[in-house]
Structure 1
Amino acid sequence: MGMGFTAPIYFLFSAFLLLVILMYFFRKQYEKKAIPSVLLWQEWMNEFEAQAWWKKLQHHLLLYLQLLALLFLIFTLTQPFFQKEGIEGDHLIFIVDSSASMTAKEGDNSRLELAKEKMVQLIDKVDNQEMTLIVAKETPEILTERSLSKKEVLQHVDKLEASYASPNVIDSINMAKSLLGEENGNIQLLSDNFTKEASLELHQNTAFYAHNMGTSHENLAVETFGVAMREDTVVGVVTVKNEGNHSKEFTLSIFNDQEETLKQVSEKVEANKVKTIYLEKLPLAALYRVELKGDKQYLLDNEQYAFLGQQQDPTVYVHKDIHPFARKAVEIASTNVIHLTSHPSEGKKFDGVHLIKGLPKSDWPSGPKLVFLSGVDGEKEVDLSGEITANRSIPLMQSVAMEEVYVEKTFSSEEFSSLDVVAGRGGIPLILSGTYQGDPIIIVTFELGSSDWPLHPGFPLFMFHSIQELTQNRGMLGYFYPGQTMDYFPASDVRKAEILNKDNKVVFTSETFEQPIELPLTPGLYTLRETKDESEEFKTLYIMLEDEEKSIQTEESFTISANPATDQDGESTSSKDISYLFIILALVVLLVEWEVYRRGISN
């Protein structure tokens, strides 16, 4: 803190002080004469001259007051101010990148921890300024807005944790610009790789500071990992990227879903290069995990999972008595269709999807089934009335306009009451789906021959969706990114759904299924546990890093500010004008001078 003057040239007016003093010397003069009546006064003056010097000043008080008032006016013209170290702007907005790369280590601390420390330092220098805190997620999140409380903002900063998803910095900056408008504002971005090449159109009253945390780029990353069936064997491919400036040796370990080591490979990758490793003759497994060893700074990109999914179209067995239009639609939906001319003999196994009509339930084959009821098992025939309704949230009904279908009669059975109703008319099910005797099943409860549905363009789509629904790997939910939501349509007998991490700790639970499931933020393998009336079912999902988060490259910090007194840390020397103080002092002196003059005249 210090004092300065905006216009010191006005100190030249100090010459008027000398002018006042000269005028004082050239004031009206009087001759000295000995007058008896004033001898008493002369005696008094002699005594006065023998007194202390500061008392003599009292006899020139008017002159001193005039000089002091003039001096205060000169100080006012020079526009004096006090300088103070602080953060420029009336409204400060902090934008924090909480992505996965911010968890990379810089010494003993992560980049996110360094960013939090930096914010604490900046907030400490805030002086009665509004503060807003934004987390740069996919959808920017405001934690606090226009707060004047340092304590409140610091509490939010202390609770900040990594979200692992790629940051949406541009939208966060645009949100900050909207909050600032034309006011004198300050945007503080704390990230690790925001480049100055980014297009930023800022208001002239807005200052922008990008603090990019981190300097080290030494990183090995598993860029891609995949497995596939090839001639009855499993093959895999892994690509490893080296972001460092030196070649590095590393070891790859491949595990199955039982965490058994299937293979280990040692390789070397050159600086700033990508190495491709081919894996041959892997043992068969539903799930594979690759782990890279040789990197310590950033561990999240050293592991990746891969599911061994369906590698070809499943075999679809079309049993006899199936409607011709259904046969044709299946041939369009799948390239591997087998038409059966008779019912399979007992003990003969057909692995695939079965289209069944007119076959008693006791003769139904095991495996996924699409069944067209015909009353062969004594199902009751019911006349229909009312409007047809369909559950559009179920994939089976995607682009299938069931409301336009003509159907008057259906077959009803209490045995299928536990299945989910996909479409119905007047409260009577037309299409059911779910699990029956442990196998996926879809049931059409009416005769296609007595309906115009096969003539509708949505019928082939329904057959295609049915094959996809019945052949999907029901134990694998697939790949997701941190913070995503998953549409979840459980069977009617599911009472509770829970997501468990690798340590079998519950990280999400729900007993109502009206909203999509919010998936975990931390990358890794998770299990969805469905609790049913009489059993539990488990499904696997993988939260994986986005490609942008497999790099820890950094950019240089930079500043965009119209204030030349601002440094790279966003701190500036603010000035507070104190001219008004000298104006007030000058007025006070003038009032005192007037009172002295008035008393002198009255005496």
Structure 2
Amino acid sequence: MGFSQILYSWTAIFPVIVLLYYFFRKKYTDQPVSSTLFWAEIMQETRVSPYLKHLQKNTLLYLQLLALLLLMLALMNPFIQQSKIAGSQVVFIVDTSATMLAGKEQATFELHKQEMLSLINDLNGRPITLIVTGHAPTAVLQQETNINAIEQSIQALQVTYETAQMPKALDVAQAFIGNVPTSVYIFTDVLDKMQLPVEKETVQWIVKGAAKDLKNIAITRFAATTDGQTAMALVQLRNDTNEAQETILTLYDAENEELVNEKVALPAKEIVTTTFKELPVTQTITAKIDAQDHYTVDNTQTALLQTTSAALVVDQSLHQLIQKGFQAIQPNVKMVPASQLADNKDAVIVTNQAALLGEMKKPVILFGRDDVEKFEVAGHINTTNDALFAFSNLKDVYVGALYESFDNYKTIATVGEEPFIQLSPEGDIIVLADIEDTDWPLHPSFPLFLWSAEQQLLESTSSLGIFAPNESRVVALAQNDWSVYSQTDEFLSTVTNGILTAPMKPDIYIVRSADEEKHFIVQLQAQERIIEEGTSYTIGALPDNEQEELSKSSIVPWIVLLVLLLLVVEWEVQRRRGFTN
């Protein structure tokens, strides 16, 4: 505490004057009077307590002295010093990951927003830069001084569910810091001091973490597979608390019908894995736990039912470019002699043996034919609007010879008027040319076509898989207008140039065109399912010069309010004694 107007301390003379007045005022002696003799018995209690009698006689004196002393303090302008933002500029780094939603009565993220709004009152014209974390950290504000704009930006912040990736955000902050004295506030849940670049003496790091006693029980892993007859699910639960816990684990199908309801015991700081077999086949299975913890986002997880991935087998007699192309796309591809291809009935076969069409359990990718002669062709390639060509533009590809096409197969690409690529009713993909008769491998469309074919035959045709929040990924979709919708048919975004950007909130979503739809899941990443003990600390101090200030919170208004209250009390005391006295 301090005084900004210490010169007004001379006003202490006024209480001294009042005190002297009471010392030298005219005094009276007690004189018994006949009419007051009967008061003695009534006043007995007061005589027994001389201190109370003294206080009653001198109440006005004490009240007046106290009021004058408070007025003297008010003239001296007392204040309370508080720490204030230091440096010539300020940088806020805000963690927007899913774990920021953890909290007791209020989420850590909301508490941090309130603290940021409080701090901007102490900027005093300093520029502020606001950076939000994520896969690609973004500077929401850059050297902003307008308080209203700063406040609006802070109010608009929201959790994006992405992993923080704090080193990237710190690199972005370094670009704004330079050599200028800077206070960097990091609003996160937990941050290791070793991650901070503390080599600069002109930077003060203030880390605001989460509470230290947050409890969490999470579904850390959930997967479901099917063999076409029944489904099997695996659930992994983690207890991050220091006490044994019990929770109810429930599995739901795509129609939200309950499949499993089981009580699971979780030892302290342990991971428990549970497997469920003979479940009915459904498109999706959702796992939920009824946990009384401080982080609910990781209490639910959904899995797409996927069949066991088929192997990819390539005929050794095919051109080396085809073999190398599939090896680059599918690391587990197998090279098999032509005579042994028929033994791999559960695999997707890449060959030129037309006799295998319709003989295998899985579709076949046919490059050329071994049962007919080829003929020369010339002309431009034309393609239909098929998912195989979502990323493969074949218009500049040269084809010198083709094989005879299959009757009743769908033609999706032609050379002039002749069929070039066909699809069978069973899903086989037929390329009616030998690679050596084309210059296709010299074009980027060749590996992209192989990738699209592999995706179409090995992956589920009704789903696009699992995405991380806000993840952007190239997807194999036909060249239509595709849009992303929520489960409640709310339009969210569009697929542009084959790139799907997932929504930020974990859930099941739908990608829909005019005549087709596919599902995909947005799922929290593994590190967003673990709550660590929060940390708050300060590293570094700026030089003690004009760059560092202390805020002065004046207490004069409270003193004035107290003086007014004393005046009211003094008036009441005087009224009770009688104004004529």
TM-score (norm 1): 0.63
1:554 matched to 2:533: yes
Compared CA separation, residues 482 and 258, structure 1 to 2 (3 A) = same
**Which residue in 2 is equivalent to 1:176?**
173
Would you say the 8 A contact 1:98–1:167 is kept in 2? yes
In structure 2, how many angstroms separate the alpha carbons of the residues matched to 1:102 and 1:110? 7
Following TM superposition, by how much is the alpha carbon of 1:2 offset from its aligned partner in structure 2, in angstroms? 5.3
- The answer to whether the aligner puts 1:158 opposite 2:143 as a matched pair is no
Q: Which residue of 2 aligns with 1:22?
A: none
| Separation in 2, partners of 1:180, 1:157 | 20
Q: Is the 8 A contact 1:256 1:285 kept in 2?
A: yes
Q: Deviations over 1:116-154 (max 9, x none)?
A: 101000001110111111001121100110111111011
Secondary structure of 1:281's counterpart equals strand
Q: Aligned letter for 2:222?
A: F
Q: Which residue number corresponds to residue 506 of structure 2?
A: 523
State the SS of the aligned residue for 2:242: coil
Whether the 8 Å contact between 2:231 and 2:279 is mirrored in structure 1 is yes
Report the CA distance between 1:214 and its aligned residue.
2.6
Residue 102 of structure 2 corresponds to: 104
Compute the displacement of 1:239 (Å).
1.3
2:97, 2:159 within 8 Å by CA — same for their partners in 1?
A: yes
Please list, as runs of the form range in 1=range in 2, the aligned pairs for 1:226-375 lying within 5 A after superposition.
226-229=223-226, 233-311=230-308, 313=310, 325=318, 332=334, 368=363, 370=365
Match of 2:400 among 402, 408, 419: 408
Q: Would the aligned equivalents of 1:315 and 1:338 in 2 still touch at CA under 8 Å? A: no
Q: Is the 8 A contact 1:3 1:83 kept in 2?
A: no
Unaligned runs of 5+ in 1: 6-81, 342-348, 576-603
Tell me if structure 1 keeps the 8 A contact 2:227–2:308. Answer: no
CA distance in 1, matches of 2:406, 2:338: 34
C-alpha displacement at 1:334, in angstroms? 7.8
Q: Which residue of 2 aligns with 1:573?
A: 550
Change in Cα spacing, 1:203 to 1:574, as seen in structure 2 (3 Å) is: farther
Query: Aligned equivalents of 1:208 and 1:202: distance in 2?
Result: 11
* Percent identity over paired residues: 22
Q: Which residue of 2 aligns with 1:538?
A: 517
Change (3 A) 1:505 1:296: farther
- Give secondary structure in 2 for the equivalent of 1:95: strand
* Change in 2 beyond 3 A, CA 1:429/1:209: farther
Aligned equivalent of 2:212, options 215, 222, 228: 215
Opposite residue 180 of structure 1, the aligned amino acid is I
Distance 1:87 1:193, change over 3 A: same
Conservation of the 8 A alpha-carbon contact between 1:353 and 1:471: no
Distance of aligned partners of 1:211 and 1:324 in 2 relative to their CA distance in 1, 3 Å threshold = closer
Residue equivalent to 2:378: 384
Using the alignment, how far apart are the partners of 1:445 and 1:315 within structure 2? Answer: 20
Instruction: Show the counterpart of 2:492.
Output: 507
* In structure 1, distance between residues paired with 2:409 and 2:336: 30
Once residues 539 and 530 of structure 2 are traced to their aligned partners in structure 1, the CA distance between those partners, rounded to angstroms, is: 26
How big is the shift at 1:463? 7.8
Distance verdict in 2 for CA 1:179–1:231, change over 3 Å = closer
- Residues 313 and 336, structure 1, Cα contact 8 Å, conserved in 2: no
Shift of 1:451: 7.6
Residue aligned with 1:87, SS: coil
Gap change, CA 1:504 and 1:3, over 3 Å in 2: same
Amino acid in structure 2 at the alignment position of 1:545: L
Deviation at 1:309, TM superposition (A): 2.1
- Residue 367 of structure 1 deviates from its aligned partner by 7.7
Q: TM-score, normalised by structure 2?
A: 0.65
**Higher CA-based Rg:** 1
In the TM superposition, residue 571 of structure 1 has moved relative to its aligned partner by 9.5
Alpha-carbon shift at residue 159 of structure 1 (Å): 0.5
1:146 alignment counterpart? 143
| Structure 1 residues 279 and 117, CA gap change in structure 2 (3 angstroms) | same
Aligned twin of 2:48: none
SS in 2 for 1:105: coil
Distance in structure 2 (CA, Å) of the matches to 1:460 and 1:335: 23
Q: Distance in 1 between matches of 2:82 and 2:228?
A: 75
Give the alignment's Cα RMSD to 1 decimal: 5.1
- 1:478 is displaced (CA, Å) by 1.0
In 2, Cα distance between equivalents of 1:300 and 1:83? 41
Task: State which drifts further: 298-307 or 90-99.
Answer: 298-307
Aligned residues: 459
Please tell me whether the aligned partners of residues 396 and 466 of structure 1 are also in contact (alpha carbons under 8 angstroms): no
Structure 1 residue 300, shift from structure 2 partner:
1.3
**Counterpart in 1 of 2:561?**
none
How far the C-alpha of 1:273 sits from its partner, in A, is 1.4
Structure 2, unaligned stretches of length 5 or more? 6-79, 327-332, 553-581
CA distance in 2, matches of 1:540, 1:335: 38
